[in-house]
Amino acid sequence: MKTICLYFQVHQPWRLKTYRFFNIGKDHNYLDDLTNRAIMQKIARECYLPMNALLLKLIKENKGAFRVSFSLTGNAVEQFKLYAPEVLDSFRELVKTGCVELLAETYSHSLAALSSKEDFVEQVKAHTAMLKKEFGVKPKAFRNTELIYSDEIGTMVGELGFKTMLAEGAKHVLGWKSPNLVYASAGDQSLRLLLRNYKLSDDIAFRFSNQGWDEYPLTADKYAAWLSESDGEVVNLFMDYETFGEHQKASTGIFDFVKNLPKAVLQRGDLQFATVSETAAAHQPVAVIHCPHVMSWADEERDVTAWLGNDLQNEAFGKLYEMKDKVRSLKSDDFNYVWNFMQTSDHFYYMATKWLSDGDVHSYFNPYGSSYEAFMNYMNVLSDFQIEVEKALEAKKAARKTKKA
Amino acid sequence: MRVLMFGWEFPPHIAGGLGTACYGMTRGLARNGVDVTFVMPHASGDEDQRFVDVVNASDVETVFGKVSNDSADIIEKMSFIHIDSNLVPYLSPEDYESYHDEFVKTGEKRWETSDVWSQRYTFSGKYGANLLEEVARYAIVAAQVAKDLDGQFDVIHAHDWLTYFAGIAAKRVSGKPLVVHMHATEFDRSGENINTQTYAIERAGMHAADRVIAVSNLTRNIIINRYGVPAEKVVAVHNAVRFADKNAPLPERGVKDKIVTFLGRITFQKGPDYFVEAAAKVLKRCPNARFVMAGSGDMMNHVIRRVARLGIADRFHFTGFLRGDDVNKMFQLSDVFVMPSVSEPFGIAPLEAMRENVPVIISKQSGVAEVLDYAIKVDYWDVDAMADAIYGLVNYPALSKMFSEKGLEEVTNLKWNDAASKIKRVYEDAIASVK
């Protein structure tokens, strides 16, 4: 019996408003409320709500045989609560069926794993606390931002008590090995790795509506046949949840495809659905994967140069995490809130200069005209945040002094 | 005395130093009893098919509202003629070509140039296919204007190379003397890699002219040495600065740190990279300063990358191009103004900064250095000296107080009235030389 593991990533960044030099020191509202609301409500209407309703229907029809996994970033959940509470309700309903597993990740879809262990642990704990509060669940499996993974990150994730982690089935790491088996991490051999089958995942996420593709149109039956024919014991299909209705519009027939998929898969007899943790538990790891260098699921290179690949990104990243001790010592919810959304990887993604072949994805929902604009705006906001943090620290010091006296 | 002037539209429409200078100069001339017929290109696009458009002085918008508000003198002394053309100052043949290509390809008719003054740029099928064609077309219309106005002017005055052909044409038609005004040379704009067509027009204009006005001795020397113009024909008249009648309230300061400003086009000519290197040196020793680069231009991305690499991006801010009031606001928020120009024929920005009580550091390679005593002067390439000067002005209040007070006094004495009376004398010379 081959296991099909469907996992969807749900994330929306808090987009910054146009924040000019003249605002520094005076204006501490950094977010573009209008754009954030408009985008969230548009995606809720076109993707989250119809797709959640469809999945709920399919789960009920198949009586436990159809199972999926999600991870929702803290940023996305914050925006649900503010702009589209019905989306959060529909996710809660999905979780309640028992056929949906929620994964842990970083709270802000951040690159904290690349900064330090301390920053990473803080982000993961914040996210786990959020899952507990909003959904009442304790996650057992972990997925890092953009499937960023290395042996070192595997060690940290293992120490945090997770049993399973997702990663990219990157060719340069796997070599001749198949992504369709369960592996163990070299950083912590008790941590099981599920590797994304990027060919079959991207058939849905990128190629589904491409009329120039020789397999167009893709039907559920054809796709189920490919799943059967593939080698190995598992097929890990990981993709952005916005694929359904947003990247692939409803008019492409993506919802019909999803509607027919469970039946097409289950009637073959040799395939079953399982959540991430169930998939990892159902199969023995066949080998240890060594990954000394950081990889991700992004771009052709499957590395992290989309976020930390040029001087602008490195400077912004460095300047941000320079502040961590100061922000932490404040122990203030207001400052932590800003601290969290400033860490979101999307801000760094907008500063990427490696446009050419991957320009399409990079420019999706990018509010800036150029990477330089993105950088200027981010640094202006960060400068004001620095000033505010310093002010708060001084006020705290002064308060302590008067207390002593 | 009556002058036919080929100039540029007044602010706020377009400008940079050129429009500002034209405005101050014509006001000064009016006060000196000179009648000005002011001819300027004005792109109407497709809506307006008129070739030449004569308007009242009171219909011309300026920076401070309509001319009529405070300028009874100027209205009596001036009339305006719009020639329908899409010429704007600082346009290079390369820029024009790229706009034209876009226009042909996309049919789009309007652009905003990316310099700090953000001028609007209009295109339509009736304008020349390249800049030189448009310059020639403008000259033909100018000749017609000169013929129509025959006997109504004594001297012709043309500003910047784009109008030189117009000036030459008007001179041939009317037989009146021609004065050309060099606000910048091709060597200032492009270093040694000059555009030879532009150079040729500048040279032709100056050789055809009876007198050449240079905005500084620096520019005068370039004209004599590199364009082969006889020294006795070239006169330096420094620009001045105009004081606004009413002062807007000062903007509120957001940050406590001292603000060091660069304001101008971010191009080779303005030396932005020296400012960045100096900033990095200053920040090493005094972290309580912030640097602002206001404006945009073809070197902007290069400068941003350099700032990121130096690791000073949280203390070095970019504003993008500033419009209208924001330019003044930026001056008012500054504690030090730096103009590190590699080559600056005059440079009006430091005067505007001094007008707002801001101490200035200017490069020795700028024309304005000739008229200012209360400005710190450094070689543009000497980033150590520049850093020293910035450090001093930021950290020693006595020094910055001295420069700001004495500087205001000094700049107050640079009056357009005086510059205009010098220009009037040049007109008289030119007329005498023809007779």
Give the ipTM: 0.81
Quote the pLDDT of residue B62. 36
Task: Indicate whether A403 belongs to any domain.
Answer: no
Q: Does any CB of chain A come closer than 8 Å to the CB of residue B315?
A: yes
In a domain, A171, yes or no: yes
Q: Which helix (H) or strand (E) holds B37?
A: strand B35-41
Cβ–Cβ under 8 Å, residues B121 and B112: yes
Whether residue B255 and residue A375 make contact (CB cut-off 8 A), yes or no, is: no
Residue B79 banded pLDDT, cuts 50, 70, 90: confident
pLDDT in tens, B273-325: 999 999 999 999 988 899 999 988 889 999 999 999 999 999 999 998 887 77
Residue B319's nearest CA partner among B340, B339, B306, B300 is: B300
**B68 has a pLDDT exceeding 50:** no
Same domain as A337, residue A271: no
Q: Say what the pLDDT of residue A144 is.
A: 97
Read off the pLDDT of each residue in A122-149 and give the average, rounded to a whole number. Answer: 97
**Closest CA relative to residue A70, chosen from A87, A46, A45:** A87
Tell me if chain A has a CB within 8 Å of the CB of B318.
yes
pLDDT of residue B115: 44
Task: Tell me the pLDDT band of A357, cut-offs 50, 70 and 90.
Answer: very low
Q: Tens of pLDDT along B368-395? A: 999 999 999 999 999 999 999 999 999 9
Provide the token pair at A49.
């709500």
Decide if pLDDT at B235 tops 90. Answer: yes
The answer to whether A316 contacts B313, with C-beta atoms less than 8 Å apart, is yes
Q: Residue A98 to residues A62, A67, A395: CA-CA distances in angstroms?
A: 13, 9, 49
Share of chain A above pLDDT 90, in %: 90
Least Cα distance to A64 among A220, A274, A235 occurs for A274
Q: In the prediction, which pLDDT does A287 show? A: 96
User: B60: which DSSP letter?
Assistant: S
Give the residues across from B36 on adjacent strands.
Answer: B3, B78
The token duo for B397 is 């209040």
In a domain, A360, yes or no: yes
Backbone angles phi, psi at A128, to 5 degrees: -60, -40
By residue range, what is the domain housing residue A371? 306-398
User: Which pTM does this prediction carry?
Assistant: 0.83
pLDDT reading at A41 higher than 70: yes
Indicate whether A23 and A99 sit together in one domain.
yes
Length of chain B, in residues: 435
Report pLDDT digits (tens) over A66-79: 999 999 999 999 99
Q: What pLDDT score was predicted for residue B148? A: 83
Q: Is the pLDDT of residue A211 over 80?
A: yes
**How far is it, in rounded angstroms, from Cα A162 to Cα A143?**
10
Buried-state track B280-315, b at ≥16 Cβ within 10 A, e below 16: bbbbeeeeebbbbbbbbbebbbebbbbbbbbbbbbb
Asked whether the predicted pLDDT for residue B60 surpasses 60, the reply is no
Cα B141 to Cα A198, A358, B36, B39: the distances in Å are: 66, 51, 19, 11
Q: For residues A49 and A52, what is the distance between their CA atoms, to the nearest angstrom?
A: 5
| Cβ B271 vs Cβ B304: under 8 Å | no
User: For B302, which residue in chain A has the nearest alpha carbon?
Assistant: A372
pLDDT range class, residue B245, cuts 50, 70, 90: low
User: What mean pLDDT comes out for the span B238-246?
Assistant: 75
In a shared domain, residues A268 and A346: no
Contact residues on chain B for A311, CB-CB shorter than 8 A: 305, 308-309
pLDDT score recorded for residue A28: 94
Shortest distance, CA A309 to any CA of chain B (angstroms): 13
CB contact under 8 A, A319 and B318: no
Whether residue B69 is predicted with pLDDT greater than 90 in this model: the reply is no
Q: Is A120 in the same domain as A239?
A: yes
Instruction: Taking each helix axis as running N to C, give the angle between helix B300-310 and helix B272-285, from 0 to 180 degrees, rounded to the nearest 10.
Output: 20
Of A261, A289, A317, the position where a domain reaches its end is A289
* Interchain CB distance below 8 Å, A372 and B313: no
So what's the pLDDT on residue B8?
75
What percentage of chain B reaches a pLDDT higher than 70?
Answer: 82
- B112: which strand partners? B120
How far does the CA of residue A25 sit from the closest CA of chain B (Å)?
4
Q: Is A110 within the bounds of a domain? A: yes
- A297: amino acid identity, one letter: W
Which residue in chain B is spatially nearest to A27 when comparing CA positions?
B254
Which residues of A are catalytically annotated?
A: 146
Tell me whether B194 touches chain A (CB under 8 Å): no
Handedness of CA B245, B247, B248, B251 (dihedral sign): positive
Residue with tokens 């910035």: B390
Answer yes or no: are the C-beta atoms of B156 and B171 closer than 8 Å: yes
Q: Say whether pLDDT at B48 is over 50.
A: no
Q: Does B323 touch chain A (CB under 8 A)?
A: no
Task: Look at residue A99 in the predicted model and tell me its pLDDT.
Answer: 97
Are the CB atoms for B5 and B429 separated by under 8 Å? Answer: no
Cβ distance A383 to B254 less than 8 Å, yes or no, reads no
Residues A58 and A176 grouped into a single domain: yes
Report the alpha-carbon distance of residue B241 to residue B318 in Å, rounded.
Answer: 26
**Sequence-ordered list of residues with C-beta below 8 angstroms from that of A54, at least 6 positions apart, any chain:** A255, A258, A259
pLDDT at A315 over 60: yes
Which CATH number goes with the domain that contains A38? 3.20.110.20
B293 to chain A: closest CA residue:
A21
Of B292, B294, B309, the CB nearest to A311: B309
Strand partners, A167: A195
Q: Do A315 and B329 touch (CB under 8 A)?
A: no
Say whether both A361 and A225 belong to one domain: no
Q: What does the pLDDT read at residue B270?
A: 92
**What pLDDT does B231 receive?**
95
Say if A390 is an interface residue toward chain B (CB within 8 Å). Answer: no
Asked if A20's CB is within 8 angstroms of B315's CB, the reply is no
Is residue A126 included in any domain, yes or no? yes
Is pLDDT at B71 greater than 80 in this prediction? no
* Co-location of A111 and A216 in the same domain: yes
Domain membership flag for residue A134:
yes
CB burial class (10 A; 0-12, 13-18, 19+) of residue A324?
middle
Strand residue runs (E) in A130-262: 141-142, 164-168, 183-185, 192-196, 234-240, 244-245, 248-249
Single out the residue in A256, A289, A322 at which a domain terminates. A289
Q: Residue A235: which residues within 8 A CB-CB, separation 6 or more?
A: A2, A3, A4, A5, A180, A197, A200, A227
**Which of A286-300, A376-390, B113-127, B420-434 is predicted least confidently?**
B113-127
Is residue B158 within 8 A of residue B179, CB to CB? The reply is yes
Inform me whether the pLDDT recorded for B117 exceeds 50: no
Q: By percentage, how much of chain A surpasses pLDDT 70?
A: 97
The Cα B4–Cα B16 span in angstroms is 22
pLDDT tens digit string along A363-396? 566 788 788 889 999 999 999 999 999 999 999 9
Q: Based on the domain organization, do A255 and A353 belong to the same domain?
A: no
> What is the structure's pLDDT at A123?
97
- CB count, 10 Å around CB of B435? 5
The answer as to whether A298 is a domain residue is no
- Catalogue the long-range contacts made by A13-16 (C-beta closer than 8 Å, 24 or more residues apart): A13/A75, A13/A109, A13/A341, A13/A344, A13/A345, A13/A346, A13/A347, A14/A75, A14/A78, A14/A79, A14/A341, A14/A344, A15/A39, A15/A346, A15/A367, A16/A347, A16/A367, A16/A377, A16/A378, A16/A381
Of A311, A379, A386, the CB nearest to B305: A311
Q: Are residues A268 and A326 in the same domain?
A: no
Interface test with A, best of B112, B263, B293, B304 (most A CBs within 10 A): B304
Taking only the tens place, the pLDDT of each residue in A160-185 is: 999 999 999 999 999 999 999 999 99
A234 in any annotated domain: yes
The per-residue pLDDT of chain B, averaged, comes to 83
Q: With 60 as the cut, is the pLDDT of residue B114 above it?
A: no
The verdict on a CB contact (< 8 Å) between A382 and B300 is no
Q: Say how many C-beta atoms besides its own lie within 10 A of residue A138's C-beta.
A: 11
Domain boundary residue, one of A257, A289, A321:
A289
The whole-angstrom separation of Cα B4 and Cα B152 is 9
Domain match, A279 and A320 both: no
Distance from CA of A287 to the nearest CA of B (A): 42
Residue B246 CB-density burial (10 A; 0-12 exposed, 13-18 middle, 19+ buried): exposed
> Are A283 and A331 part of one and the same domain?
no
Structurally, how many domains does chain A consist of? 2
d(C-alpha B320, C-alpha A376), whole Å: 9
Asked if B42 and B81 count as a contact pair (C-beta separation under 8 A), the reply is no
**Average pLDDT over every residue of A135-158:** 97
Residues A312 and A285 in one domain: no
Chain B hits for A372, CB-CB cut-off 8 Å, are 300-301, 304
pLDDT of the residue at A392? 95
B373 Cα distance to chain centroid: 22
Asked if A24's CB is within 8 angstroms of B317's CB, the reply is yes
The answer to whether residues A390 and A325 touch, using CB atoms and an 8 Å cutoff, is no
CA of B268 vs chain A CAs: smallest distance (Å): 19
- pLDDT grade, residue B51 (50/70/90)? very low
Report residue B96 as tokens.
Answer: 């024009």
Residue of chain B minimizing CA distance to A382:
B314
With a cut of 60, say whether residue B342 has pLDDT above it.
yes
Compute the nearest-CA separation of A19 from chain B (Å). Answer: 10
User: What is the per-residue pLDDT for B19?
Assistant: 74
Structure confidence by residue, pLDDT tens digits, A76-115: 999 999 999 999 999 999 999 999 999 999 999 999 999 9
